Amino acid sequence: MYEVKMKYMDIENNGDSFRFRCEKFNIENNIYKFENIFIDEFIISDMEVNNEDIALIKIR
């Protein structure tokens, strides 16, 4: 399980970031692909994010 902390470019610099856990991730052609995402009590099967849309990303 990976912990992801991500901040989008279009969000003001107020320190807020988007946090979630995921089972798998992959980076291809400047696109982050996440699978089986857990946010609070919800599960999302997959999500893709372009690298140019991200101001900060930490994956542990």
Q: What is the number of alpha carbons within 13 Å of residue 57 lying toward its C-beta?
A: 19
pLDDT over 90 (residue 1): yes
7-60 pLDDT, tens digit per residue, is 887 756 566 788 999 999 999 999 999 999 999 899 999 999 999 888 888 999
Domain ranges across the chain: 2-59
**pTM for the whole thing?**
0.81
Q: Which CATH class is domain 2-59?
A: mainly beta
pLDDT over 70 (residue 5): yes
pLDDT number for residue 16: 75
